[in-house]
Amino acid sequence: MGSLWRAGKKLSLVASAAAGGTAAALIATSDDPATALRLCATVPHRLLRDAVTAANIAFDYEYSLRGLREGSIEREMVKHEVHLRSAEKLRDLCFKNGGIYIKLGQHLGHDAKGILCLFFYMFIYEQEYLVPQEYVITLRESMLNRCPVSSYEQICEVFKRELGDTPENIFAEFDPIPIASASLAQVHVAHTHDGQKVAVKVQHAHMTETAAADHATVELVVNTLHRFFPSFDYRWLIDEINDSLPKELDFLVEAKNSEKCVENFRKLSPHVANYVYAPKVYWNLSTSKLLTMEFMDGAHINDIKTIRKLGIHPHELSKLVSQTFAEMMFKHGFVHCDPHSANLLVRPMPSGKRNILGWRKPQLILLDHGLYKELDFDTRTNYASLWKALVFSDVSAIKEYSAKLGAGEDLYVLFAGVLTMRPWKRVVDQSLDHLVFNGTESEISELQMYASEYFHQISELLRRLPRVILLMLKTNDCLRAVNNSLLQGSSLDTFFIIGKISSEAVIDVKMSQSKSLLSWLNVRLEKILLEVRLWGIQIVLWIYQIRKALSWSDQGLV
């Protein structure tokens, strides 16, 4: 893996790897000549395919919209058609290239309007600053359900290389047809010789080489664009891919992350631990390219119909998701950074008990633990302090902790907007629902104008922020998409939970750092006042929910 990645990195520094002399020199000096040869053959081909697709899309926008008045009905209709055509071209490119490209397509396919998506979309059309729904729908429908599938012969090849035998000999039963396929791997159902039903995650054949080539291609594109357009500085994306992708390709890292996540909940968040679950790992049947886990039955987090059939209320599930990830971010400092709908399952708590209204408590099952980020003590504390300030509209604290996290004193307003997806006037609003986003056309239009107006500042902000915070932004986008699928928008409860857990984390840090009786008493008093404030908000939330339920009942919606 290391030599392969070094070969890809060396290749990315060459402006034209296809040139005979350059390619020959690269191959001759490589630690792995065979791999370098494959990369030299792969990268130029993919780069050409990228360039042709990008040029095709750019020309389509430029030609189709020329002469049409901004804001006119005709322009909007034509733009809709161009969006659809371009989304299909982008989808086809991702499928042809595979690997990282499919992962990027999946991120675009989330129903999230996150600022990180700006990077990918700005290649396509500079006048649109949020991913249009045509892209979201097209890529979501294809990327999450139609990823490439390795043949059974290729699966056997991986098994022989990793475990020394074929699947049918290693397991009592092995279904050759996968139940799911993602950008990096696919999952098969099997039974061990002692009768346990398991899910076997098998990496696509030659994925390591493909990933190295993709990495080299993306690095070449970003560095070339930065050379010609210095203000376009997204080299941080290369650093992030370089750090995260090799870990995602090592399934033993994923297995260790899974166990550490569960252990963190047991030790640091015992009140939530029973409601969060990760599949058991079968270490004797797992390698860096194969991962054998306990098979999990459950509904995907966006399958509202099945969730209700299981007796689980979507609102309770939304609160559990918010609490789970808030605990990770603000208390554990070890965060699952890929919580999209395919990686989150839900089932009723094993106890099976129902409340007085007949609903059952949900248990959240976390899958795909390949992408985690650790927040060091200072970053975690500052991030928790910032979210506390955002929820409670504390302007001075927002400014202070935004600066500590790298935004600087000049971009703290923008950073607050990126985190909450709300304009500054809403962030500092003292009303209880100031951060709630309902997804109305007016709200989306407001965000588009906000992003358009501050586009260059957004680019500068993303350049400044630590990579770990960029991953938190991406995680927030995924969680927003999950909550939107459950509730058709954000909710007061979500921000109440974030405010409560971030505040608890800040208080815990202050308590641990108290070095005198007076400072300890001050922190205790702060904690009491905070709890009183939170109780007040909780009462208001209960009244709000009762009124909402009564309103629905009067309208015959319940």
Residues catalogued as catalytic: 338
| Residue 23 and residue 43 in contact, taking contact as beta carbons nearer than 8 Å | no
* Neighbouring C-alpha atoms within 13 Å toward the C-beta of 341: 24
- Within 185-303, residue ranges assigned H as helices are 207-228, 235-248, 251-268, 270-273
Q: In 3D, which of 387, 412, 397, 414 has the Cα closest to residue 322?
A: 387
Q: Name every residue whose Cβ is closer than 8 Å to that of residue 179 and which is 6 or more positions away in sequence.
A: 187, 188, 189, 199
- Taking a C-beta distance cutoff of 8 angstroms, is the pair 345, 502 a contact? no
Pairing of strands 299-300, 180-181: unpaired
Measured CA to CA, the distance from residue 293 to residue 296 in angstroms comes to 9
Neighbours of 288 (CB within 10 A): 16
Is residue 365 within 8 Å of residue 277, measured between CB atoms? yes
By the 8 A CB rule, do 267 and 274 touch? no
Residue 157 phi/psi, 5-degree rounding, is -60, -45
Q: How far apart are alpha carbons 72 and 8 in whole angstroms?
A: 47
Burial class (CB in 10 A: 0-12, 13-18, 19+), 422: buried
Question: What are all long-range contacts of 9-16, with beta carbons under 8 Å and residues at least 24 apart?
Answer: 9/215, 9/216, 9/219, 9/242, 10/36, 11/36, 11/39, 11/40, 11/43, 11/213, 11/216, 12/43, 12/215, 12/216, 12/217, 12/219, 12/220, 12/223, 15/220, 15/224, 16/44
- Per-residue three-class SS string for 383-396: HHHHHHHHHCCCHH
Measured over the CA atoms of residue 456, residue 459, residue 464 and residue 469, the dihedral's sign is positive
CA 40 to chain centroid = 31
**Cα-based torsion angle of the residue sequence 306, 311, 316, 317 in order, rounded to the nearest 10 degrees:** -30
Reduced to 3 states (helix: H, G, I; strand: E, B; else coil), residue 210 is helix
Q: Which residues pair with 187 in a beta bridge?
A: 180, 201
User: Around 134, how many Cα atoms within 13 Å sit in the side-chain half-sphere?
Assistant: 17
What b/e readout covers 93-114, taking b as 16+ CB neighbours within 10 angstroms?
bbbebbbbbbbbbbbbbbbbbb
Q: Cα 352–278–292 angle (5° rounding)?
A: 120
